[in-house]
Structure 1
Amino acid sequence: MPELPEVETVRRTLAPVLGQRVEAMWTSGLPLRLNRPVPEELLREISLGRTVEDIRRWGKYLLLDLAGAGHSVLVHLGMSGRLRMMAAAGERPPHTHVAWLLSGGAPPAELRYSDPRRFGVIDVVERGNERAHPSLARLGEDPLTGALTGALLHAGSRRVRRSIKTFLLDQHTVAGVGNIYASEALWQARILPTMPAERLSKARADALAAAIHEVFARALEHGGTSLRDFVNADGHAGEHAHYLWVYERDGEPCPRPTCPGIIRRTVLQARSTFHCPRCQRR
């Protein structure tokens, strides 16, 4: 599933959409996540004839703001979703579910959402009242806003008996951390993924916050991580898979020069988890 760096990369590569006017819209008529239908009529109402004013991101969600609409298009890529700018004259890729025809570019382009597994979300939210949407109601702070601090992690983890990795994945304290970057950040902070979250000290919370910022910055520098489906809005894969410290590196030496440990893969809450048993301890 695309995590914050991948979704932010999509947002940045969608910059050519800004200022373009929506001339037409097409949908496949197929439902997406949880068999939820795409709200076609409402999408048409807020899209047609309007200019794309801004593209925002909150955690793993994108929000497309349309001038004068008072509402935004909410997009979650799910497991295999792609949001791409493509020439309108070209054939739509298989599994395309929504396409907006844009004017203002040469040649004319379409913004297309495709999703083979249909785990994504396309919906509408009221601008300024985003938390009224059930998907955003309990979403935590976005790290790229500067709101992620050790104090936030420490306060949010009190009386949380679940593992620290599960705590990071639940999106309620920090939005945007997924399976890849949870393993990476916990390794960088030298924290065992199975440690109960409530045992996170203030010092280790500071280290973890710094680690999350670092792994996101590194991933953004390389355009995100493409392990299977992810490409940006231009159709290019991210390069960060070549720079991961521990994720999918089981059996390899720990990247820390002074550590003799070997990266180990375990399964935690049905998700692959990677850590070094020598330098990540309770």
Structure 2
Amino acid sequence: MPELPEVETVKAGLAPVLEGQVIARALVNRPDLRWPFPENMAARLTGKRVIGLRRRSKYILADLDSAETLLIHLGMSGRMLISGHKVGNFVHPQAALVKHDHVVLDMAGGARIAFNDARRFGAMDLMQTDAQDAHWLIRDLGPEPLGNRFDETHLVARLKGRNTPIKSALLDQTVVAGLGNIYVCEVLFRAGIHPRRKAGQISARRIAALVPIIRDVLTEAIAAGGSSLRDYKQTDGELGYFQHGFQVYGREGEDCVTPGCSKKIKRIVQSGRSSFFCPQCQR
């Protein structure tokens, strides 16, 4: 499932063709994806201007001039594909609709944005912009890891006394929003913390040190265009490149990258998810 850097990359790709533009026509080609679409979604989108794009955790939020906000969740295989727009001196022709183009936005400026989702684990919803914090997908989210509310004091307080493994604690979206399996593995490797260590047994100093590491890993991944595993692609179809810099994720049986370490990367399963780590560098 796309994590924060992937969603941020998609948001950045959508901004030039959505922000400030009018949705000339919205097509909704099925009644639902992971959950039913909101009532009259096509009519509520058609003719509306997108006044801004934001990201909250793993959700893209498009604020409309109707005082509603469109929530987009990519799920496991959702892609936002853009066609019919100009990039420099080149124009990408508007693509014909294909299988799994479940929601299509034809913009007044000529661009077409298709939400293509083969597995249908993605979602879209409409909510009142001034009530977005009460939306059931948003209301319990923790602070953004790249925002000012996420700091050492917050993380130390939230993890103090917790008996869950640190890997699970960092995946808890009420603790910090947007972190997923890939980047938590990378963060814990850089921090030298074993994924099975109980969160409450790690010193406050080491917990506090996770904050800048989390920010560094996410910032690097965003700069590289996110990671592309299986179905994830940027809006232009290009793959992200951060996966080429993975230090542990997906590297089971390969040499640890730490100079002087002779151990191989190991994989364990925690709560149904793979955790990759170095048995020597992470304690």
TM-score of the aligned structures, taking structure 1 as reference length:
0.93
In 2, Cα distance between equivalents of 1:62 and 1:200: 34
Deviation at 1:269, TM superposition (A): 0.6
Contact 1:154 1:200 in 2 (8 A): no
1:39 counterpart letter in structure 2: P
Equivalent residue for 1:101?
106
Instruction: Tell me how far apart the structure 1 counterparts of residues 193 and 172 of structure 2 sit (CA, whole Å).
Output: 18
Taking the aligned partners of 1:28 and 1:110, their CA distance within structure 2 comes to: 15
Alpha-carbon distance change, 83 to 268 in structure 1, aligned in 2, over 3 angstroms? same
2:50 and 2:172 map into 1 onto residues whose CA distance is: 31
What is the match of residue 112 of structure 2? 110
Match of 1:59 in 2: 57
Q: 1:43 Cα deviation (Å)?
A: 4.9
User: Distance between the aligned counterparts of 1:212 and 1:64, measured in 2?
Assistant: 26
Superposition RMSD in Å: 1.4
Q: Give the counterpart of 2:82 among 68, 80, 85.
A: 85
Aligned counterparts, 1:1-282, within 5 A: 1-16=1-16, 17-33=18-34, 36-45=35-44, 47-67=45-65, 69-87=66-84, 89-104=94-109, 108-281=110-283
Structure 1 gaps, min length 5: none
User: What code does the residue aligned with 2:47 have?
Assistant: G
8 Å CA contact 1:253, 1:263 repeated in 2: yes
TM-superposed deviation, 1:39: 1.4
**Mapped contact 2:28–2:41 kept (Cα < 8 A):** no
- Per the TM alignment, residue 204 of structure 1 is displaced from its structure 2 partner at its CA by 0.9
Aligned letter for 2:53? I
Deviations 1:70-105 (A, max 9, x none): 11000111111111222374212321111111012x
The percent identity for this pair of structures is 41
What SS is found at the alignment partner of 1:187?
A: helix
Letter in 2 for 1:25: A
**Preserved contact between residue 84 and residue 233 of structure 1 (Cα < 8 Å):** yes
Matching residue's letter, 1:8: E
Do the aligned partners of 2:248 and 2:277 also contact (CA within 8 Å) in 1?
A: yes
Q: Which residue of 1 aligns with 2:87?
A: none
Q: Distance in 1 between matches of 2:41 and 2:51?
A: 18
Q: Name structure 2 gaps, 5 residues minimum.
A: 85-92
4+ residue segments displaced more than 6 Å? none
Q: Which amino acid in structure 2 is aligned with residue 134 of structure 1? A: W
Contact 1:151–1:202 (Cα < 8 Å) also in 2: no
Deviates more, 1:222-231 or 1:24-33: 24-33
8 A Cα contact 1:5 1:216, kept in partner:
yes
Do 2:132 and 2:138's aligned partners in 1 also have CA atoms closer than 8 Å?
Answer: yes
| Contact 2:28/2:42, CA 8 A, preserved across alignment | no
TM-score, structure 2 normalization? 0.93
